[in-house]
Amino acid sequence: MIDLKNLTIEKAHESLSRGDFSVRELVDVYLGNINSKNKELNAYLGLYKNIDEEVRLAEEKFKNGTATLLTGIPFAVKDNILIEGETATAGSKILENYIASYDATAVKLLKKEGVIFLGRTNMDEFAMGSSTQTSAYGVARNPLDLTRVPGGSSGGSSGAVASLMTLSALGTETCGSVREPSAFCGLVGLKPTYGAVSRHGIIAMGNSLDQVAPFGKSVRDTEIIFNVLAKYDPKDATSVKEELRLKSKISNLKPKTIGIPWHLFETGVDGEVMENFKKSVKKLEGSGYKVVDIKMPYTKYSLAVYYIIMPSEVSTNLSRFDGVRYGLSMAGESVNDSYKKTRSQGFGAEARRRITLGNYILSQGLSGAYGKAVKAREAIVKEMDQTFQKVDLVLTPTVPFLPFKIGEKMDDPVAMYLSDLFSAPANIAGVPSIALPSGINKEGLPFSIQFMAPHWREDALFEIGKKFEIIDEYEKK
């Protein structure tokens, strides 16, 4: 019997190489779990057609000695990442019957490794949400507590990994959409440096913010996936060439000094979360890390800046869904009437809210809120760079509160948006960040902390993450 609970990518590879079980047997166990659990969790929106062929190709790689660490590893894929010939709806009715005509670059890279793509996962519509409740295809549930959300917008991916319906998964990050679901489901989630992983083949929400990002049950799992995906892609104008990455990388960083911007969470953080965070800080100090208080006066405006830049980009990106070229098309008495019917029936409430907000912001011109937000973003980026000249890493809680009940914040969008309070700085500045499990409370709900590092220093996040896993495991014993 395969021990899925303790299975990691490396353990699976070793077992597949030894012949303890075959790729077919591994995949069938996960498919069995999907069959028995997904109706309740609603993590998957559909299974892919080519599973059997991918299994055959992966088993050939093991036979001929070309298998890599990811060969035969089951993956779930967020529903806004394109796989040729498969449905991709971005969680929206407006793309209900859309079939992708090509592979996203991230998918191409994983296909070369021989992974097994199981199915597409539920998500907030067009990645607009922090709970996977705005999906047009029903809410997803947290496998740790079915009355609670799994986080968002990549909640289907996090729920699939946490419920053992896949070993690994891809999500996308615009503002915490992988780190927050990781926190809510007790997983590791990585947000790479902006430009590290290709955005080609991703249904866009906010071009200057969107990123493909991996979920894992361990830091090492996310590291393995990231190392495969972190390639320059000429098809993505925001992808950065390897030589430029090396040139702008702070060299020889060995994480020793950790900065904490305590002033950013003096209020608004749940008591249990703060208590766990302080315990985590003590664990790090006890293991030899120097922890210092830092001030980041501009960074505190990251969430406000995000909610100006993001809806502005949303309003332009979603203008392409007009009922003419692809997706839902509603007949009307005129072209404008057709547009109106298609978009009003195709988009959900949150998408319409953000489109409307973005249109309003952009109508003010560069002298209005958008122009000011861009200038504030530049100040935040500069401040973040200056901060990393003083400390090696920045540490905060991942989310200000624990997983909340389904329906709890739906009538208060501002309260929902506060889920991104600690996520926004890394997205606005474009720096990498990793969310790490940091314990559970009496109800079995997970705590999480996150580290931020300088641009292109994912390796520093992997190093501190692995050490924290060891520290945390030792403390449990």
DSSP strand pairing (433-440 vs 446-452) = antiparallel
CATH number of the domain encompassing residue 28: 3.90.1300.10
Q: Could you tell me if 192 and 330 lie in one domain?
A: no
> Does residue 161 surpass a pLDDT of 80?
yes
Residue 259: strand pairing partners? 292, 394
Confidence of residue 446 (pLDDT cuts 50, 70, 90): very high
Number of domains the chain is built from: 2
Q: Is 65 left (phi over 0), alpha (psi -120 to 50) or beta?
A: left
> Does residue 157 surpass a pLDDT of 90?
yes
| In the block, residue with structure tokens 């208060």 | 412
In the chain, the percentage of residues whose pLDDT exceeds 70 is: 98
Task: Tell me the C-alpha distance between 118 and 126, whole Å.
Answer: 21
Residue where a domain terminates, one of 363, 378, 393: 363
> Does residue 4 surpass a pLDDT of 90?
yes
Residue 222: its H or E element? helix 219-229
Dihedrals φ, ψ of 405, to 5°? Answer: -70, 145
Residue where a domain terminates, one of 348, 363, 378: 363
Q: Could you tell me if 213 and 346 lie in one domain?
A: no
pLDDT for 266 equals 81
Q: Could you tell me if 208 and 356 lie in one domain?
A: no
Q: Could you tell me if 309 and 242 lie in one domain?
A: no
153 upstream amide cis, omega within 30 of 0? yes
| Structural domain containing residue 324 | 305-363
Confidence of residue 352 (pLDDT cuts 50, 70, 90): very high
Q: Could you tell me if 204 and 330 lie in one domain?
A: no
pLDDT for 368 equals 86
> Contact 360/315 with Cβ under 8 angstroms?
no
Confidence of residue 474 (pLDDT cuts 50, 70, 90): low
pTM for the predicted model, two decimal places: 0.96
DSSP label at residue 92:
-
Q: Could you tell me if 231 and 336 lie in one domain?
A: no
Confidence of residue 298 (pLDDT cuts 50, 70, 90): very high
Q: Could you tell me if 311 and 219 lie in one domain?
A: no
Task: Tell me the C-alpha distance between 90 and 127, whole Å.
Answer: 7
The structure tokens listed for 457 are: 């220093």
Instruction: Select, from the ranges 50-54, 319-323, 370-374, the one with the highest average predicted confidence (pLDDT).
Output: 50-54
Q: Which residues are catalytic?
A: 78, 153, 177
| In the block, residue with structure tokens 């080609």 | 200
Task: Tell me the C-alpha distance between 253 and 462, whole Å.
Answer: 12
